[in-house]
Structure 1
Amino acid sequence: MAGPRDQDKLADQWSLGAGAEDEDHAWAELMDGEAGAPASAGTDRTLNQEEIDSLLGFDADAGNVNLAGVQALINSALVSYERLPMLEIVFDRLVRLSTTSLRNFTSDNVEVSLESISSVRFGDYLNSIPLPAVLSVIRAEEWDNFALLTVDSSLLYSMIDVLLGGRRTAGTVRVEGRPYTMIEMALARRMIEVVLEDTQRAFEPLAQVHFRLDRLETNPRFAAISRPANAAILIELRIEMDDRGGKIEMLLPYATIEPIREQLLQMFMGEKFGRDTIWESHLATEIHAAEVEVEAVLHEVEVPLSRLLNMKAGDTVMLDRSPSDPVTLRCGDVDLTEAIMGHINDHVSVRVTRPLNPPKVTMAAFEGAQNTLEKR
């Protein structure tokens, strides 16, 4: 607020009949004095590095999942992987399969863990790949699209040491300043093929897909399988072999998994992907063992109710059928097939003459009813 001297100054100017310009100038001086008072208290200060990082959203402890500040605005167009709940179950299955496969591949104690699943932009991921690294371009043949699998150098050199009988070193082995040799690339290709086989098996209960290794690259510029602004899902797997190991990163563009988007949106509990093979086999066994009553219908004719009430023992009902005409085999209200009537010894018999009638209710009707229930 203005002090007593400022108020006296204004009063003197008003009493002397100052003009409009003098009044505006006085008010400007008064407001400048009020605005400048707190400035001396230190509000106009420089932000430190921690506050700048928090404002921009570059928080190292927050990871890739919880974005804040400017980063949250930039990445607001990305689709969150949490909208595809089935995907996390698929990669949990991949972790279990890869643990067993890599143990058999290396004859060593291998532990595979799922570090994170996040949504990134394809261009941002290519710029963040630590080099040197082996980038594998993977083709999903049934989906007619590509994916990317990256093996970092620490995992590659650790795998080479294990496969070739190298010494166990506590530190991370890194070789800088030279390209990978043909032996190293061949061993990396074999390890990637093992991981791809497990990935195919992980997706198998959900969709039939074959992942084929298209090529190996060491320069990210030659591994551009999508536009830089396109969204993708990044899966990070940590592979540990005692005191050494590294990471495998799999990048799936959303365009690649679009053919199975409906399956990935499913919500269920358990590991059977919505199906229980034990229950299916039990149900099939019980259906085959079930007993049903089948009727042989010779002919059907409509008669007036009055005639039916006047029938007595000995009356004859004429049927417009001959002994060679087929009869209808019926179960409940469903016509199964046709047969020819005959007899075996003292029993009347029928002989089926054509295959069963196709069912009127198909699987499409069940799927339509299921979709209706899910929408409700």
Structure 2
Amino acid sequence: MADEKDDLMSALDEEQSKNDDDMASEWASMIEGADDGDNESQADRILNQDEIDNLLGFDQADLNEGEMSGVQALINSALVSYERLPMLEIVFDRLVRLTTTSLRNFTSDNVEVSLDSITSVRFGDYLNSVPLPAILTVLKAEEWDNFGLMTVESNLIYSMIDVLLGGRRGNNTIRVEGRPYTTIEMSLTKRMIELILDDMMKAFEPLTPVTFNVERMETNPRFAAIARPANAAILIELRIDMDDRGGKVEILLPYATIEPIREQLLQMFMGEKFGRDPIWEGHLASEIYAAETELEAVLHEWEIPLSQAMNIEQGDTLMFERTPNDPVSLRCGDVKLTEAQMGHIGKYVSVRVTRPLNPPKVNMSVFEAMDEQGSD
């Protein structure tokens, strides 16, 4: 009986150990399956190209609309938006109207000029994006003592040459040739550029007088560097259409170039003034000049105790420490204007001014400094 009992116990132990091994192996397989599932889910979470573009801010639709996000927004955060200069758009709208009339008279053709866009770009990025061949004209703003850039597309150059030299009208697209521009083409293009520059001077005239001159004309963008590649600039795109032909003119003005007129460009409308109005100043000046004021001739003054002043009686003699040849002070209120010599004309006492008026202690520079402090 003891032997049978021992055999039964050993059989039960073997069965229990077998069950434990099976359970352990089952748990191990479940854990491995879970790990495989996690790996598969992680593999499924790999970002696709659209998600990467949205994360980095390189969505082409947003770029076309001028909106930036992600890393692209951080990269371009240093750029100043042209919308902070409201008067700039008004100036170039005026340029469009003037240029339309000028080019119609220049070509004797139906010319339409339109403003495509005004954007902020980096100078280096713009030079790398200029489609070649093209003519890049370096402009100098004399009063601002700085430079700008005007780019004329090849399509517009050949269209203008065709119109000026009597070419036939047609719907055929002008073929851009890979040859250098001839002397006639350069000369006629320069005349068109000078015409646009004259209109630019007229467009800026209500804000500030400025003279734009052609410094040089280049066909290689590397020779038209007028600023550092990372510098911000304003790009104005003009579209010139002549019936079924035409092209673009791009005007690039670095922010350093328009810095001298930044306050004028911040105006919301033409003629807005910041704390100064010349019409009101002129009216005030004319009224002040016509106003009457009281002038006093002071022979002498000194301080005495109040007790002594109260003891003055009729018949007392006050001794002035002055002689007839000592100067007399001419005052307006508490302000000393100048000095004079005392005398008389007939029965009237008179004074003769002996030196110029004292310079005022307060002038317009004080008010201008107060305006600047208030604006800060």
Letter in 1 for 2:22: L
> What displacement does 1:241 show?
5.7
2:148 is matched by which residue type in structure 1?
A
Residue 374 of structure 1 and its aligned partner are, at CA, apart by 2.2
Letter in 1 for 2:309: L
- Correspondences of 1:171-190 after superposition (within 5 Å): 173=174, 175-190=176-191
Partner residue in 2 for 1:270: 269
What amino acid is the match of 1:126? L
Pairwise CA distance, 1:217: 0.9
CA 1:227–1:93: 2 relative to 1, 3 Å: closer
Partner of 2:78: 78
Cα offset for 1:174? 5.6
Is contact 1:336-1:356 (8 Å) kept?
A: yes
> Is 1:16 matched up with 2:22?
yes
How far did 1:105 drift?
5.8
Please say if residues 341 and 350 of structure 1, whose CA atoms lie closer than 8 Å, have aligned partners that are also in contact.
yes
5 Å-filtered alignment, 1:25-174, equals: 26-33=30-37, 36=40, 57-60=58-61, 62-63=63-64, 65-73=66-74, 75-82=75-82, 85-86=84-85, 88-97=86-95, 99-100=97-98, 103-104=101-102, 106-107=104-105, 112-141=113-142, 144-160=145-161, 173=174
Corresponding position of 1:4: none
The corresponding residue for 1:247 is: 248
Name the structure 1 match of 2:297. Answer: 296
**CA deviation vs aligned residue, 1:305-337 (integer Å, no higher than 9, x gap):** 233333344544333333333322222332222
The equivalent residue for 1:286 is 287
| Cα distance change on mapping 1:85 and 1:353 into 2, 3 Å | farther
Which consecutive unaligned segments of at least 5 residues does structure 2 have?
Answer: 1-17
Q: Classify the secondary structure of the residue corresponding to 2:360.
A: coil
The unaligned stretches of length 5 or more in structure 1 are: 1-11
Task: Report the CA distance shift for 1:256/1:97 in structure 2 as closer, same or farther (over 3 A).
Answer: closer
Q: CA deviation at 1:369?
A: 1.8
Secondary structure, aligned partner of 1:311: coil
Once the two structures are superposed, residues 151-199 of structure 1 have per-residue CA deviations (whole angstroms, 9 ceiling, x without a partner) of 2234444544565666666777564333333233223323333443454
Deviation, 1:216, is 0.5
Q: Give the match's secondary structure for 2:289.
A: helix
Question: How much has 1:215 moved relative to structure 2?
Answer: 0.7
Which amino acid is 1:79 matched to?
L
* Matched residue type, 2:81: Y
CA distance in 2: counterparts of 1:80 and 1:60, whole angstroms: 22
In 2, Cα distance between the equivalents of 1:211 and 1:76? 30
**Aligned twin of 1:352:** 353
Q: Match of 1:78, SS?
A: coil
Deviation per residue, 1:52-89 (Å, 9 max, x gap): 7666524256436312355334x33432225x733x41
In structure 2, what residue type is equivalent to 1:270? F
Matching residue's letter, 1:90: L
**Further displaced range: 357-366 or 54-63:** 54-63
Contact 1:153–1:174, Cα closer than 8 Å, also in 2: no
Residue in 2 that maps onto 1:3: none
SS at match of 2:60: coil
For 2:352 and 2:168, the matched residues in 1 are separated by 79
Q: CA deviation at 1:14?
A: 6.1
Residue identity matched to 1:334? V
Q: Pick closer, same or farther for the CA change 1:301–1:205 going to 2, 3 Å.
A: farther
- Number of residues paired by the alignment? 353
Q: Which residue of 2 aligns with 1:5?
A: none
Q: 3-state SS of the aligned residue for 1:301?
A: coil
Whole-angstrom CA distance in 2 between matches of 1:217 and 1:244: 24
More helix by share: 2
Residues 326 and 235 of structure 1, relative CA distance in 2, 3 Å threshold: farther
Report the RMSD for the aligned CA atoms in angstroms.
4.0
Q: Is the 8 A contact 2:158 2:174 kept in 1?
A: yes
Larger radius of gyration: 2
| Counterpart secondary structure, 1:124 | helix
Distance 2:172 2:290 in 1: 65
Q: Which residue of 1 aligns with 2:339?
A: 338
Deviation at 1:240, TM superposition (A): 5.1
Code of the residue aligned with 1:333 in structure 2: it is: D
- When residues 224 and 97 of structure 1 are mapped into structure 2, their CA distance, relative to the original with a 3 A threshold, is closer
- In 2, Cα distance between equivalents of 1:336 and 1:243: 75
User: In terms of mean alpha carbon deviation, does 200-209 or 275-284 score higher?
Assistant: 200-209
Structure-1 residue corresponding to 2:236: 235
Q: Is the CA contact (8 Å cut-off) linking 2:81 and 2:120 kept in structure 1?
A: yes
Distance in structure 2 (CA, Å) of the matches to 1:304 and 1:110: 90
Partner of 1:63: helix, strand, or coil? helix
Alpha-carbon shift at residue 127 of structure 1 (Å): 1.9
1:345 Cα offset (Å): 4.1
- Are 1:196 and 2:200 an aligned pair? no
User: How much has 1:135 moved relative to structure 2?
Assistant: 0.7
